[in-house]
Every structure is written in C-alpha cells, then in structure tokens.
Amino acid sequence: MSHPLAYANQCLYHADILISAWQHSAQNSEVLDTQVALAFAPPVQSKLLDSYGWLLLAACRIRQTPEVVPHSVAQLPALPAGLVHPAEVEACAQLESDGWIAELQAPIEQSAVRRSHSLAVEQGVSWEQFLHWAERLKALAQQIADGIDES
C-alpha cells in the first residue's frame, strides 16, 4: 500500500470514529441537534477532505509528503512534463465542480441550516450525510488501490 493510500485510510478511520461519536451524541444529548452538528461537522469534514487529498496524491502516484494535504485537484502538485492526471483524478475534478465532492467541500457555515420544503421544518448537516460521504470515499479508495495494483 502506498504511503498516501495508507494516510487516506487512516483519515477515513478517524472520520468513522468522529461520525460514531456524533451519532451517539445526537441520539443521547440534551443539546440541540444543530449545536451538536456544528460541533462535529467541521472536524469530520476536515478528516474526510484530508482523506480525499491523500487519495488524489495516491492516484497520481505522488509519494512525497506535501507540506499541506490538497483538498482539490487544483491544489495537487504539478506533474512532470508530459504526464497527465489519471482518469480517476479527472473524474474527481468533475465531481468537484458538480457532484458529491463539491457538496463535501462546501463550507459548513453555508450549509449548517437549510430549510426543507416545509417552512416549519429546518434540517441541518447530519452525521448520516457525512457517513454517506465517508462510504463514497472508501469506494474511491478501493478504486484507486485497484488502479495502483494494476500499474
């Protein structure tokens, strides 16, 4: 397993721990759900974005640890002349502009409270949404690991 892929899996593991704690806290707390969500969402998002960055580095076969983990394709280090990003990275770039990765990358402040179709009901960020993103990142990690094994 490449170093970036190992770091990605470690970040996903830490995100899973945080999501489990979030779920437990949401189900067993007297604190408002919105406050619990705002307490857990930023660190979970950070871990998931770090995992995503490590996956991008793994897909590009970049083994040198960067100073800052990229959270988008645009933040990846330049590839040597003549090389292009693998298909997985190009697919991620598309998902960053219009897909689930764009939703994951959205600032928490903007998505902390959203109104549903009913004006009386508000819904905020939830541990379920972050769990869904974590599962999608795990699938992406497997896809990238398979690509590395084939090369």
Is 37:112 a contact under the CB 8 Å cutoff? Answer: yes
Instruction: Give the per-residue pLDDT at 39.
Output: 92
Residue 70 has pLDDT above 60, yes or no: yes
**Angle 127-150/87-97 helices, nearest 10 degrees?**
160
As a whole number, mean pLDDT of residues 125-131 equals 94
Token pair for residue 78? 């330049």
In the chain, the number of structural domains is 1
Residue 121 has pLDDT above 90, yes or no: no
Q: Which of 40-54, 76-90, 130-144 has the lowest mean pLDDT?
A: 76-90
Count Cβ neighbours within 10 Å for each residue of 91-127 and write b for 16 or more, e otherwise.
bbbebbeeeebeebeeeeeeeeeeeeeeeeeeebbbb
pLDDT band of 140, cuts 50, 70, 90? very high
DSSP 87-135: HHHHHHHHHHHSSHHHHHHS-HHHHSEEE-SSTT-EEE--HHHHHHHHH
Instruction: Give the per-residue pLDDT at 33.
Output: 82
Instruction: Give the per-residue pLDDT at 65.
Output: 83
Token pair for residue 73? 């394709």
As a whole number, mean pLDDT of residues 84-111 equals 90
Instruction: Give the per-residue pLDDT at 134.
Output: 98
Instruction: Give the per-residue pLDDT at 123.
Output: 55
Question: How far from 137 is each of 17, 35, 118, 144, CA to CA, in Å?
Answer: 15, 26, 32, 10
For residue 43, what are the domain limits?
3-150
Strand partners for 122: 115
Is 60:83 a contact under the CB 8 Å cutoff? Answer: no
Instruction: Give the per-residue pLDDT at 125.
Output: 86
CA distance 73 to 127: 25
pLDDT in tens, 27-44: 887 788 888 899 999 999
